Structure 1
Amino acid sequence: MNLKLKNHWWAFSLPVIAVLIWSMNIAVTRYVADYISPVSISFYRWLIAFIILTPFMLVKAWKQRHLLRQYFFKFAVLSAFGMVLYQGLAYSASHYTTATNMGIINAFIPIFTIFVSMAILKEIPNRFAIIGSLLSFCGLLYVMGQGNFASLLQMGGHSGDIIMIIAVFFYAFYGVFLKKWQLKVPLLLSLYIQIGFALIYHLPFLLWFGLDAINVENAASVFYAGAFASLFAPLLWMMAVQYIGPNRTSIFMNLMPVFTAIIAYFWLKEAWTIYHSIGGVIILIGIVLAQKKVKAVEKLSPT
């Protein structure tokens, strides 16, 4: 075992880079909110990813079309929750909250996953999961209230955080459905088909809201989301799971709020305050506690 870890010490850098890319994408999402509509960047993101994957996946998809047809409905559901509802709401939330808060709320994916698993998979959380979840939720409320719980009564000022919470909740469903169905399809091929469904789902929204043009102000952000956040980071994450295992890999997701806050501080000039520090520590302690002796539910990476 020690020899294996020694030979693959570099593998521990893979999830770090993946989480860094995703954290950067949260900051990119906040930055580009002023230059392109949520539905437009969401559509372009998956269109770019689809174009990049097509030369490698189209022939494979055709050869395995009978297998893919068997999972048609499940691919449609996964795409709706993980790529349209989660990512679309995240882009919408970026108009009303900070990248720092988005990164912190994103850390709630494992907590929500535990309770969605309870409803769908009938997995009963233990006392550590319940206590940890409540502790993390208190930390989240503290951050949303900017250190003052009384300010939470003014819900209009927290619309972006609420939208992001809903987005993360949908992603928890995505992770649980993946676990429940265990599709016997190669990961990249599964990703390719889900992206195809995501593009179809966007069509009614594009007809209603229109499609913003790609220009010099948003082109780099759109390409980053489509290539790095949608393809490169998931590939690194899958490699990390292969080399060091899912449990060890999932721990690195706790770096996302930290990375996001640092990027937002230097790039977007967002302030890191004492309530971010206190609330962030409470949330992370709760997340770690919730994972104790809970082996059936693992953290899942964002798309």
Structure 2
Amino acid sequence: MNQQAKTNNWAVLLPLIAVFIWALNVAVTRYVADYISPVSISFYRWLVAFLILTPFMSIKLIREWSSIRPYLPKLAVLSAFGMVLYQGIAYAAAHYTSATNMGIINAFIPIFTIFVSMVILKDFPSKFAVIGGILSFSGLIFVIAQGSITSLLNLGGHLGDLLMIAAVFFYAFYGVFLKKWKLQIPLMLSLYVQIIFALIYHLPFLMWLGLDAINTKNVASVLYAGIFPSFIAPLIWMLSIQKNGPNRTSIFMNLMPVFTALIAYLWLKEAWTIYHTIGGIIIVLGIILAQKKA
């Protein structure tokens, strides 16, 4: 029994580590916004991940090509939503909003996923999901408005928050498509092919906007983005799902805004205000309520 308890305690650390890595990446995204363009950091992120994975995955891709080929259109769509639109828009949002706000809006992924599922999968939400979604949205509006609804009229001042909402919305589509298609291929191979598509998608933007050089001010952020949140955190997350189950694991995502705000406060010196506290509590309560089964 004692050994089993120790194993369970160790497994609880897995989702905590994954969420911390993703939260730190939000802060890194905000930090590096002053030193590299959104399209450049997005491209470099997936290029680093591609270079690391290629020695391990390229041979497997060749061997499994006949079974993967029918899934290429779906993998291309997944890459567009999850790796290009979500992450690319998030990097753009970092130029106009705080890491704290980005972390809070990121916590909205479960809510958006519920309602995108309703449209695509005809998976209609429970009354708890509807009430929780409305409650969380109210909290989000409160945070964006900085506690004053009249400030919402200043749309230019909220451009970063609106971009981040759009990014999270696209990621919700990514999750729903994953559930809808249930691709019968290994997860790491799926990730590798999606990364290849992501690099291809970036080429027109690079030709139009150019590619910033890597220098001493942005190299650490580029390496972190390409290594830790790109595949180390997803691997830890998948391991957590195996050890703890999907439901127990998903609850830990609610800690994303807490970790992000703490990192932003300690590292980026961002202020944590009363409207962040009130809005954050409302959002988290709504998310927890939305996950409650009827």
TM-score bucket of the superposed structures, by smaller chain: over 0.9
Is residue 111 from structure 1 mapped to residue 111 from structure 2 by the alignment?
A: yes
Partner of 1:55: 55
> What displacement does 1:272 show?
0.1
Q: Residues of 1 paired with 2:191 and 2:8: CA distance?
A: 26
Per the TM alignment, residue 26 of structure 1 is displaced from its structure 2 partner at its CA by 0.2
Deviations 1:56-92 (A, max 9, x none): 1011110000111010100000000000000000000
User: For residues 138-167 of structure 1, what are the alpha-carbon distances to aligned partners after superposition, in whole Å with 9 as ceiling and x for unaligned?
Assistant: 000000010001111111110000000000
Report the Cα distance in structure 2 between the residues aligned to 1:274 and 1:238, rounded to whole angstroms: 35
For 2:2 and 2:290, the matched residues in 1 are separated by 28
Q: Which amino acid aligns with 1:174?
A: Y
Tell me how far apart the structure 2 counterparts of residues 242 and 287 of structure 1 sit (CA, whole Å).
23
Match of 2:288 in 1: 288
Match of 2:206 in 1: 206
> Residues of 1 paired with 2:235 and 2:291: CA distance?
25
Distance 1:201 1:66 in 2: 23
Matched, 1:43 2:43: yes
**1: CA distance, partners of 2:76 / 2:110:** 23
**Partners of 1:3 and 1:113 in 2: how far apart?**
37
CA distance in 2, matches of 1:96, 1:215: 23
Aligned Cα RMSD in Å? 1.2
Aligned to 1:215: 215
Equivalent residue number for residue 191 of structure 1: 191
2:253 maps to: 253
How much does 1:11 deviate? Answer: 1.0
Q: For residue 79 of structure 1, what is the aligned residue in structure 2? A: 79
Match of 1:30 in 2: 30
What is aligned with 1:175? 175
Please name the residue that 1:120 is paired with: 120
State the match for 2:156 in structure 1. 156
| Aligned mates of 2:230, 2:291 — CA distance in 1 | 27
Alignment coverage as a number of residue pairs? 294
Instruction: Please state how far the C-alpha of 1:8 moved relative to its aligned partner.
Output: 3.4
Shift of the alpha carbon at 1:7?
Answer: 3.0
Q: Do the aligned partners of residues 118 and 2 (structure 1) sit closer, same or farther apart at CA in structure 2, a change above 3 Å counting?
A: farther
Using the TM superposition, give the Cα deviation of residue 9 of structure 1 relative to its aligned residue in structure 2, in angstroms: 2.3
1-side partners of 2:92 and 2:292: how far apart? 34
Q: C-alpha separation between the residues in 2 aligned to 1:156 and 1:131?
A: 30
Distance 2:71 2:5 in 1: 36
In the alignment, the residues of structure 1 paired with residue 54 and residue 5 of structure 2 have an alpha-carbon distance, to the nearest angstrom, of 35
Matched-pair identity in %: 71
Please report how far the alpha carbon of residue 5 of structure 1 lies from its aligned counterpart in structure 2 after TM superposition.
5.3
Change in 2 beyond 3 A, CA 1:5/1:70? farther
Distance across 2 between alignment mates of 1:186 and 1:5 = 31
User: Amino acid of the residue matched to residue 184 of structure 1?
Assistant: Q
What is aligned with 1:300? none
After TM superposition, the structure 1 stretch with the greater mean CA deviation from structure 2, 1-10 or 13-22, is 1-10
Tell me which amino acid in the other structure corresponds to 1:158: H
Residue 69 (structure 1) aligns with: 69
- CA separation of 1:5 and 1:109: change in aligned 2, threshold 3 A: farther
Residue of structure 1 equivalent to 2:15: 15
Structure 2 distance, partners of 1:194, 1:264, is: 30
What residue in structure 2 maps to residue 130 of structure 1?
130
Tell me whether 1:226 sits opposite 2:233 in the alignment.
Answer: no
In 2: Cα distance, 1:4 partner to 1:73 partner: 44
> How far, CA to CA, are the matches of 2:267 and 2:3 in structure 1?
41
Indicate the SS of the match to 1:183. coil
- Separation of aligned partners in 1, 2:219 and 2:7: 40
SS of the aligned residue for 2:30 comes to helix
Q: CA deviation at 1:255?
A: 0.6
More deviation, 1-10/128-137: 1-10
Q: Deviations over 1:112-143 (max 9, x none)?
A: 00000000000111111111100000000000
- Indicate yes or no: 2:262 matched with 1:241: no
Unaligned regions of 5+ residues in structure 2, if any? none
Q: Secondary structure at the match of 2:131?
A: helix
Partners of 1:137 and 1:210 lie apart in 2 by 37
